[in-house]
Chains A and B, each alone.
Chain A
Amino acid sequence: MFIVNCPYCGDRDQTEFSCHGEAHIPRPTETAKLTDDEWGEYVFFRSNPKGYHRERWLHVHGCRRWFNALRHTVTDEFVATYKIEDPRPPIPEGGQS
């Protein structure tokens, strides 16, 4: 059970949050021009790294704000949480995403 640092509310228990997979996947524009494969790539395909991972989190039972987190998928260490509009925090030294 993690402690998650909501960028709007601060440290809260994981039960207040939900996690929604990989972050920084914008919806394509002009979708009519995409092939089925390209569309499928957007809808279905996600990286599944063993290591640092940028994820979308929602403070669903709190302020209901979406934000991003940089988390290590093995150690569950949160390197950072950041607002949607914030620049991406760097991956720690020696890590790979």
Chain B
Amino acid sequence: MSAVATYALRLGDDALVLSQRLGGWITRAPQLEEDVALGNIGLDLLGQARTLLTYAGEAQGAGRTEDDLAFLRDEREFLNLHIVEHPNEDFAVTMARQLFFSTWQLALHQRLVASTDEMFAGVAGKAVKEIAYHRDHADQWVRRLGDGTEESHHRMQAGLERMWPYVAEMFAVDDLERALVEEGVAADVSELRGEWDQHVDAVLREATLTRPDDLATPPGGGRRGVHTEPFGYLLAEMQHLHRSHPGATW
């Protein structure tokens, strides 16, 4: 598989899997406005995923469509980060996940706008506007929950602790990405950490929350297709119907 196809799959899988998780909030959100907002964010991510998976299929050159890639790959072939596959749990965990991921994704796409690859640059150009809204939505909720009631403060702090172990993986670069960075196709995620810290720290400070400690050996492996246990169930649910009717059109 070409490096470009792999890179498109990595970013596309991040968006697809988080969209699938966020879809789980619809009809279960704390208020109607959040059913709409979380649905909106999920839809934006699904749109990004569809373009990126279609591009990955083209770059692979084997005639695979977005649906072939979404529904017919197994767990070990998905290349998303662990953070996006983490179950929703409560609203605080979901907001911690969204703050961490959207802050990272925004910084990444702000750089990809200048990618030498026209498709990545194009996706990023549209995505930065969407992600800026996703990040702002998460910022506001983390502040409200952190500086709200005693219970919400406690839950939000717990949400941060729960999601913190998955942060380090977002900034890890492997040989494949290093080569693409050289070519000007990819952005170097290891360079995003300072900016990410600055934004997240500022939100946590305002929210009266404490930044969790880094783990000595944080988990990872999503980019190599090594995932967490809950991910298999996500795929089983997402892929079941499509796989039950091989070759059918929907």
Chains A and B bind each other? no
